[in-house]
Amino acid sequence: MDIHEYQAKALLSDFGVNIPQGGLAYSPEQAAYRAREIGGDKWVVKAQIHSGARGKAGGVVFCDKEQAVWDAADELLGKRLVTHQTGPKGKGVYRLYVEEATHIRNEIYLGFVLDRSSDRILVVASAEGGMEIEEISANRPGSIVRMSVEPAVGMQAFQAREIAFSLGLPGNLINQMVKTIMGCYRAFRELDATMVEINPLVVTESDDIIALDAKMTFDDNALFRRPNISELRDKSQEDPRETRAADRGLSYVGLEGNIGCMINGAGLAMATMDMISHAGGEPANFLDIGGGASPERVAKAFNLVLADENVQAILVNIFAGINRCDWVAQGVVQAIEKIDLKIPLVVRLSGTNVEEGRRILEQCRQKVITADTLAEAAEAVVGAWKKAQAGQRG
Active-site residue, from 5, 128, 197, 379? 197
d(CA 222, CA 11): 17
**33 is annotated as an active-site residue:** no
Q: Is 213 annotated as a binding residue?
A: yes
Q: Is 199 annotated as a binding residue?
A: yes
Q: Is 99 annotated as a binding residue?
A: yes
CB atoms within 10 A of CB 228: 8
**337 is annotated as an active-site residue:** no
Check: CB of residue 124 under 8 Å from CB of residue 109: yes
Check: CB of residue 297 under 8 Å from CB of residue 258: no
Q: Is 172 annotated as a binding residue?
A: no
Task: Say how many residues make up the chain.
Answer: 394
DSSP state of 2: B
What are the φ/ψ torsions at residue 44 (nearest 5 degrees)? -125, 130
Check: CB of residue 56 under 8 Å from CB of residue 66: no
d(CA 364, CA 374): 22
Q: Is 264 annotated as a binding residue?
A: yes
Helices (H) and strands (E) in the chain, counts: 13, 18
Active-site residue, from 109, 128, 185, 252? 109
Q: Is 323 annotated as a binding residue?
A: no
* Pairing of β 43-47 and β 96-100: antiparallel
* Pairing of β 313-320 and β 345-351: parallel
The 3-state secondary structure of 47-115, one letter per residue: ECCCCCCCCCCCCEEEECCHHHHHHHHHHHCCCEECCCCCCCCCEECCCEEEEECCCEEEEEEEEEEEE
Q: Which residues are part of the catalytic machinery?
A: 109, 197
Q: Which residues are annotated as a binding site for ATP?
A: 46, 99, 102, 107
Q: Which residues are annotated as a binding site for Mg(2+)?
A: 199, 213
Q: Which residues are annotated as a binding site for substrate?
A: 264
Q: Which residues are annotated as a binding site?
A: 46, 99, 102, 107, 199, 213, 264
